[in-house]
Structure 1
C-alpha cells in the first residue's frame, strides 16, 4: 500500500440529468491531471423508490467512458440511520446507491453519519447502536460489490441537533469493525462541530484521521455563528459556516494537519468546491497537490 492513492475533486454538477456538464467536468479533470472524480449520485435521478433506474444508470456510464480517470461517489445526503423509525427506508436507498456506485466503477462511496434532535442520553445511544447495525449491513453489501464505504463527519445546523464529534465517529467505525467501512474526514465539518461543542479541533480530527480512507478538502473559518446574510458572498465575507471555499481562503491549519495526521493507507484526497467557486478550481487543485506532497514527505520520514 502507498501513503496516498490519489487526488481528485467532486463534480459540481446539479440539475444535469443529461450529463452534459459532467462531461465538461471530466475533461477539466483530465486537463488538471487528477486521478479521481467524485460523482454526486444523489443528484442524478439514478434511483426511484429504492431501486436503480437502469436507463439512467446506462446514460451515466456512457458519459463516464472512455476516460483515464478513477471514480468515487457520494451517496444521498438524506440517508440517516439515527432516524430509527425510517431505517429500512434509508437502507434501501443506501443499498441502491452502493450498487450504482459499484456499477460505475467507484472505489469509495461516501455517506454522512447520522443526526437527530434529542437530548436524552439513552435515546441518543440507542440511535448510535441502530446506526452501527445498519452500517455493518451496508458494509456487507459493499463487500459483495468490491467497494469501500466512507462515513463522513457532519456538523449540527442548530443547537437542537446531535451528531458525532470526529472522535466519536472514529469510535463508532472501530466498533462496527467492518473491512469495507472506514471514514471520510471532512476537515471543515470537523472544525465547525468542534467550535460548536467547544472541543479541540486538531485532537478530534486527528482521531478520525486514523480511520479515514477518504478526505473532503475545502476551506472555512470553522465558525458556526448563525447570522442573517443576503448572499453567499456575504457569508464568505463574514467567514460563516460550511463555506466549501477554495484552499487558502479560510483559516484551517492545513500545513500542521498534513504534518501531524496519519490517514489510512491508500487514502484519497478529494476537493469539494461548489459551482460558485469553480473559477478557483485550478488553483485549489494545485494547493491540494502541494498539501499531499507535504503529507507524503512526512510519512516517508516517519
Structure 2
C-alpha cells in the first residue's frame, strides 16, 4: 500500500492569544483551506504546568480537537532539552507529559528538538558535553519505550544554526552553543545510538538550509544520507542567513534574516532537489 502523505500546518503560539476560542477559530481556517494535519505547540496550549498535565484544560482542548478530522502532531516547548543536566528531572517530566497528551488526543507523532548546551562555564568541557549526549541517548531510549506502548513515534528535529553555534564537539569554544543537531549527520548518528524503531528524524528544511550555509556542509548530500530516517517534515523557506539582529519575525522579514518560516518559494531553498528524498515521511 502506498504511503499517504498528509499536508499540514503549524498552529503558531502567536495565534493563540484568546484561549481557547482562538484554537477553534484557527482550526476552522485550516479546515477551510484544506489542510489535513495540524502541529500543536504544547506550550501555547498551556496544558502542562510543572511537568504535569492539567486534566481540566487537556479535556477542554480535546473536546475542541475532536470536532475536526485532522491528524495531529505535538511540538515541544523550545526549552525542552534532555542535555540540560541540572534540570534533567523536570525535562523528563515535561517530555513524558507531552507523550501522555499525544496519547490522550490520538496523536502518533511528538517532535523533540535535538539537545544543546550553552558553553558558559569552564566546567563544560569535552567530557561534560559527551556525557550530556550519552544522557540524552539513554533518556530517549526510555521515553521511546514509554511512547511505543502508546503507538507514538518520537521525531528528533534538526537544529537551526545561530552565529554562536558549533556542531563539532572537537571545536568547543567558551560562549558558544554546542548544538550537534545543526549538522544532519551528527543528528543521524545520535538517533542511531538510540536505536529504537519509533525514534526517527524531523527534517526542518529551514533549519537545515541556514545551518548548511553557516557550517559549510552540502545540504543535498546530507539530506540524502538521513532520508531513510526521516519520519516527519517541517517545510518552510528562508534565505539561509544565520544573522538574527532582532527577534521579531516581522522585522526580520524585509532583510531576509534567519529562520523566517516563509511559504516554499518565497526564499532560496532548492525544494525541487530536497523533496524527492523525503516524500515518504
Q: Tell me, what secondary structure is at the counterpart of 2:151?
A: coil
Give the alignment's TM-score, normalised by structure 1: 0.81
Shift of 1:120: 3.4
Match of 1:7 in 2: 7
Match of 1:38 in 2: 39
Offset from partner CA, 1:234-254 (integer Å, 9 cap, x none): 422221110111221110000
How far, CA to CA, are the matches of 1:131 and 1:229 in structure 2? Answer: 31
Tell me: CA distance 1:115–1:229, structure 2 relative to 1, closer, same or farther (3 Å). Answer: closer
How far, CA to CA, are the matches of 2:7 and 2:95 in structure 1? Answer: 25
Match of 2:115 in 1: 114
How far, CA to CA, are the matches of 2:186 and 2:127 in structure 1? Answer: 16
Give the alignment's TM-score, normalised by structure 2: 0.87
Shift of 1:138: 1.1
Offset from partner CA, 1:135-170 (integer Å, 9 cap, x none): 111111111222111111112434211112111111
Shift of 1:233: 4.0
How far, CA to CA, are the matches of 1:57 and 1:230 in structure 2? Answer: 30
- Unaligned ranges ≥5, structure 1: 268-302
Contact conserved, 2:163 with 2:243, CA < 8 A, in 1? no
Contact conserved, 1:17 with 1:45, CA < 8 A, in 2? no
Q: Tell me, what secondary structure is at the counterpart of 1:252?
A: coil
Equivalent residue pairs, number = 263
Tell me: CA distance 1:120–1:205, structure 2 relative to 1, closer, same or farther (3 Å). Answer: farther
- Unaligned ranges ≥5, structure 2: 165-175
Contact conserved, 2:158 with 2:203, CA < 8 A, in 1? yes
Tell me: CA distance 1:198–1:93, structure 2 relative to 1, closer, same or farther (3 Å). Answer: same
Offset from partner CA, 1:100-128 (integer Å, 9 cap, x none): 11111112111111111247333322221
How far, CA to CA, are the matches of 2:231 and 2:249 in structure 1? Answer: 31
Contact conserved, 2:220 with 2:273, CA < 8 A, in 1? no
How far, CA to CA, are the matches of 2:226 and 2:73 in structure 1? Answer: 20
By relative contact order (CA 8 Å, sep 6+), the higher-ranking structure is 1
Tell me: CA distance 1:180–1:24, structure 2 relative to 1, closer, same or farther (3 Å). Answer: same
- Specify which of 223, 237, 255 is matched with residue 238 of structure 1: 255
Offset from partner CA, 1:157-204 (integer Å, 9 cap, x none): 342111121111111111111122111110111122222222222222
Contact conserved, 1:17 with 1:44, CA < 8 A, in 2? no
How far, CA to CA, are the matches of 1:128 and 1:30 in structure 2? Answer: 40
Q: Tell me, what secondary structure is at the counterpart of 2:143?
A: helix
Match of 1:296 in 2: none
How far, CA to CA, are the matches of 2:18 and 2:93 in structure 1? Answer: 22
Offset from partner CA, 1:211-235 (integer Å, 9 cap, x none): 1110001110111124x45964442
Shift of 1:207: 2.5
Contact conserved, 2:141 with 2:194, CA < 8 A, in 1? yes
- Specify which of 175, 190, 195 is matched with residue 172 of structure 1: 190
Q: CA RMSD in A?
A: 2.0
Tell me: CA distance 1:96–1:17, structure 2 relative to 1, closer, same or farther (3 Å). Answer: farther
